[in-house]
Amino acid sequence: MLSCQCDKVILRLLYYKAKETFLHILILGSGGREHSITWAVKQNPKCTKLSCAPGNAGIAKIAACIELNINDGQHVKEWCLNNNVDLVIIGPEEPLAYGVSDILKNANITTFAPSKAASKLESSKLFTKEICDSCQAPTAGYDYFDNKEKAIEFIKKSKFPIVVKADGLAAGKGVVIASEYLKAKEAITEMFGGHYGQAGNQVVIEEFMEGEEASLFVLCDGENLISFGGAQDHKRAFDGDNGPNTGGMGAYSPTPVLTKEIEKKAISKIIKPCLSEMRKRGIPYEGVLYAGLMIKDGEPKLVEFNTRFGDPECQVLMMRLGAQALDLILATCEKRLGNAKITWADDHAITIVMATKGYPIKYDKGSKISGLGNTSENSNQVIFHAGTKNHGKDIVASGGRVLNITTRASTLKEAQLRAYKIIESIDWKEGFYRNDIGWRAL
Ligand code: AMP
Ligand code: GLY
């Protein structure tokens, strides 16, 4: 009898060991962020099978790309159950807002992503403001409106510039910094007129904050958190921070603007109080939390939360973390962050986005990209694909942001020089990029 019990225990231990050692991982998304996560996770021997839905031409070289509607939780769940998936990593924000992680977690599928309720920290600007109010986290003063006329009345008495924001998800486009009354009125009219769909049913109007922006990333397991440190994005399309706002034209990590002291302040005054308020409300946050900060006179204020990795910030973090990324993701899912550690090398990573000419306004798809094979990829340099697909024997652009040239070196300057050298070897006439990624830190 005793021996039978022992056998069972041994079998169970072997089962867990096997589960831990042989993981089939599914990554949801199709951008450079997801390519970099796939690349990092694949280096960890715990990952033995890797799938990505829907993926792209770059991801297809290192993982099986699957046709799945990633916003349909039932569809994803069935695929996971039929294919023995052990871990799902959700890249973009849409599946979170559709509650995909809730459906997967309810089916006992380990999932690295916050719940739908917790991801309101990104999907509702008003919700985040209310959380900040409840715990007195520093952020811009604001008012909110569910009616156009009242919002317009409000801006008649406001100081400019002012920031007008659609409450909901608007693919990064629902924020207008209005320098004067007519611009603010136009933004309000567009938002209530359905320009951003339902996202504009409520509008938040904020005081304009001056300062320098940085992104801080933390992992949270509901109770504990661990900081990933910072990265800095370049939001404008053209050199010198000119041109329209984009999803991000390049990033680097670490970033000197986010000193240890400012990071500590941001964690103690903004992130910890907000996470504890979420716990109090019964919606503990699990996953990666991205705090957009505005820093002035050594004091950080919250611009926004995102409930996912930034894109392209993720690419530089993944390049610096490598295989560790999977251990940290597992520690988050298994609520072990209290004992987790990140080992950073004394290194710098940079990523330069190559986008299709015309991005972010109007651009064609389908142009051929050559020369990608000229770069030998290794742990210090990779061309992550953000919007590509295979077309016969060719690789063609299938989106606005298309390639992320990502390098790592002992100095930012060296990483930057190498990344621009790689760009010279890529033959893609329809593409463009910024020449000054990293300028603030250099
Ligand atoms: P968000 O989508 O909230 O990150 O806003 C997009 C960008 O608009 C931010 O990265 C900032 O550059 C800018 N922004 C948003 N809110 C403010 C604010 N209150 N003051 C100054 N700039 C802001
Ligand atoms: N790079 C900005 C974002 O991911 O929202």
95-113 confidence digits (pLDDT tens): 999 999 999 999 999 999 9
For 281-437, strand residue ranges (E) read 286-296, 299-306, 348-356, 368-369, 381-385, 388-391, 394-397, 401-409, 431-432
For residue 210, pLDDT over 50 is answered with: yes
Report the atom number in ligand 1 closest to the C-alpha of 209.
20
pLDDT score recorded for residue 228: 86
Mean pLDDT of the chain: 93
- Among 189-198, 256-265, 276-285, which is the least confidently predicted range? 189-198
The CA 216 to ligand 2 mean position distance, Å, reads 12
pLDDT band at 21 (very low <50, low <70, confident <90, very high): low
- Among 100-114, 118-132, 171-185, which is the least confidently predicted range? 171-185
pLDDT band at 7 (very low <50, low <70, confident <90, very high): low
More confident position, 312 or 229: 312
Q: In the chain, pLDDT over 90 holds for what percent of residues?
A: 86
- Pocket test residue of 123, 233, 384, 434 for ligand 2, highest count of atoms within 8 A of CB: 233
> Who's near 280: CB < 8 A, 6+ residues apart?
none
* Core vs surface per residue 33-44: b (16+ CB within 10 A) or e: bbbbbbbbbbeb
Residues with CB under 6 Å of ligand 2 are: 172, 233, 247-248, 306, 310-311, 313
Digit-coded pLDDT (tens) for 126-141: 999 999 999 999 999 9
The CA 150 to ligand 1 mean position distance, Å, reads 22
Contact 395, 320 (CB under 8 A): no
Distance between the two ends of the chain, CA-based, in angstroms? 70
Report the distance separating Cα 298 and Cα 315, nearest Å. 27
Report the distance separating Cα 368 and Cα 402, nearest Å. 11
The CA 306 to ligand 2 mean position distance, Å, reads 8
Digit-coded pLDDT (tens) for 394-431: 999 999 999 999 999 999 999 999 999 999 999 999 99
- Pocket test residue of 160, 163, 207 for ligand 1, highest count of atoms within 8 A of CB: 163
Burial status of residue 113 (CB atoms within 10 A of its CB: 0-12, 13-18, 19 or more): buried
pLDDT score recorded for residue 16: 47
Ligand nearest to the CA of 304: 1
For residue 234, pLDDT over 70 is answered with: yes
For residue 172, pLDDT over 80 is answered with: no
Contact 344, 217 (CB under 8 A): no
Report the distance separating Cα 413 and Cα 349, nearest Å. 10
For residue 17, pLDDT over 90 is answered with: no
pLDDT band at 356 (very low <50, low <70, confident <90, very high): very high
Q: In the chain, pLDDT over 70 holds for what percent of residues?
A: 95
Rounded to whole angstroms, what are the CA distances from 45 to 153, 165, 324, 341? 60, 44, 11, 18
For residue 143, pLDDT over 90 is answered with: yes
pLDDT band at 1 (very low <50, low <70, confident <90, very high): very low
Burial status of residue 376 (CB atoms within 10 A of its CB: 0-12, 13-18, 19 or more): exposed
Report the atom number in ligand 2 closest to the C-alpha of 309.
4
pLDDT band at 20 (very low <50, low <70, confident <90, very high): low
- Pocket test residue of 304, 305, 307, 311 for ligand 1, highest count of atoms within 8 A of CB: 304
pLDDT band at 199 (very low <50, low <70, confident <90, very high): confident
Digit-coded pLDDT (tens) for 28-51: 999 999 999 999 999 999 999 999
The CA 248 to ligand 2 mean position distance, Å, reads 6
Q: By C-alpha distance, which of 162, 246, 234 is closest to 203?
A: 162
The CA 333 to ligand 2 mean position distance, Å, reads 23
- Among 10-19, 85-94, 199-208, 303-312, which is the least confidently predicted range? 10-19
Report the atom number in ligand 2 closest to the C-alpha of 308.
4
* Strand partners for 157: none
Report the distance separating Cα 166 and Cα 124, nearest Å. 9
pTM beyond 0.85, yes or no: yes
Q: What is the mean pLDDT of residues 151-174?
A: 89
The CA 330 to ligand 2 mean position distance, Å, reads 23
Report the atom number in ligand 1 closest to the C-alpha of 139.
19
**How far is C-alpha 102 from the geometric centre of its chain's CA atoms?**
19
